[in-house]
Amino acid sequence: MDKKEILDRINQMNQNTMMEWMDIRFIDFTGDMLIAEMTVNEKVHQPYGLLHGGASAALAETVGSVLSAIQFPGSDHGAVGTNLNIYHLKSARDGKVIAKGSFIRKGKGQHVVKIDIFDEQDNHISHAILTNQIINRTKKYQK
């Protein structure tokens, strides 16, 4: 599958999800790096008209989880986030923010991904580290 097909496929996965509602769109993929953008508007603002930290966290976890998950094309394996640490460095009010995710560690059972979020002027908005557990999506889990 080429890059355009991969981006189309993962953008289609956003339909009818929180990611679609938040206007998160994947725009580039290199194999070990995934980039997405999100529009900053009233849907993702907190009461002071600034980008909500939870929206930045959702963007970071989305990019990091999808980067891990697409390492297993055509298999029964996927990835779920198990820990997210995020630092909010600067505020944003409007425009777009760009999230760039890349691997710190890419193990067999666990991935660690760093995600940096920038505004359109290249100001560093947030820095996040996400740990993903690699799972077998067909396995039945019991309580």
Catalytic residues: 61
Q: How far is CA 3 from the centre of its chain?
A: 17
Surface-to-core class of residue 85, CB atoms within 10 Å of its CB (0-12 exposed, 13-18 middle, 19+ buried): exposed
Long-range CB pairs of 42-50, under 8 A, 24+ apart, other chains included: 45/93, 49/93, 50/91, 50/92, 50/93
Q: Residue 73's CB: how many other CB atoms inside 10 A?
A: 10
